[in-house]
Amino acid sequence: MTSAPVTRVLSGIQPTGNLHLGNLLGAILRWVRMQEEAPCLFFLADLHSLSDHIPAATRLAQVRAMAAALIASGIDPARSVLFAQSDVPAHAELCWMLNGTARMGWLSRMTQWKDKSGKNKEGASVALFDYPVLQAADILLYRPSHVPVGEDQKQHIELTRDIATKFNLDTGTETFVLPEPFIGGGVAARVMSLRDGSAKMSKSDPSDMSRVNLVDSDEEIAAKIRKARTDPDPLPGDPELLKDRPEARNLVGIMAAVTGESETAILARFEGQGFGAFKPALADALVALIAPIRARYTELERDTAELDRILDTGAARAAELAAPTLHDAKRALGLSRR
């Protein structure tokens, strides 16, 4: 984290299906800990999901399921503001205002646009191209001091800062606070596939054996770890010796993130042993972490009325926090007579 004081934290996640271990260790558990440090806002980015066609009923179900998963993982809606992005109209309204500040060249250079549009830029949605401007609006609305991101999202924070800086200069105001990225945070920020240690764990991988889902049973978790790709060499005592062993490094990193131990301490315990000894211990640690989350998630998912109540309450709180920034932006642009 930067040296700037943490006064408010904001982060969002797309409600696009089942969460997996990479989501949990790479983002959600960081969010849970951040609740202890500063006021936090967490939103379900359903407006961002419009860049792809998803049936309405599916999108609605995914928003509720993601809310259930976040709460089950430790996000406390009594302490933090949890809401659906589309329930706060200020997100879309500020995005349109910022479209007058953002530049085509800035957006066309975004890595996400290049990767997702590929060679079919003419066929890609405008929402995909404009995604970073909505993301800037998401952030700037709440004037957060820090935004938790992975290394692959740092470019979006830099763009947000560029848009905020240009808006402030163009209007001669200090409407927006420039946010700082919060990268890292003491847990595994990058969990890799169980089948390929060079690829990030992802729900889009066609093989379900490549990931541990938060809804997997204890038996499924144990089977996936047992069948995870490894190499024939024993574990060393020094983490540096895992540099050229991506699958081994990944499993040791997961164990460290799950247990809170250092990789050095874990390797000291398993030095000279093969994965026949290590994998059962890792499976047990994962089951101990995920089983209570899965049980709470299942309970919450059945109670859609309670989930809706939580999201409605969060949206009301978020709208109240967003209102001053939206008003200041309108006034800076001559869109408010008050």
Q: Is 330 a catalytic residue?
A: no
The identity of residue 73, as a single letter, is S
Q: Is 154 a catalytic residue?
A: no
CA distances from 163 to 2, 156, 207 (A): 21, 11, 40
The catalytic position among 203, 224, 227, 243 is 203
The catalytic position among 116, 119, 121, 154 is 116
CA distances from 6 to 37, 175, 177, 182, 319 (A): 8, 19, 13, 10, 21
Q: What is the DSSP string of 284-337?
A: HHHHHHHHHHHHHHHHHHH-HHHHHHHHHHHHHHHHHHHHHHHHHHHHHHT---
Q: Is 116 a catalytic residue?
A: yes
CA distances from 140 to 12, 175, 190, 280, 292 (A): 13, 9, 26, 46, 35
The catalytic position among 114, 119, 166, 200 is 200
CA distance 172 to 332: 8
Catalytic residues: 116, 200, 203
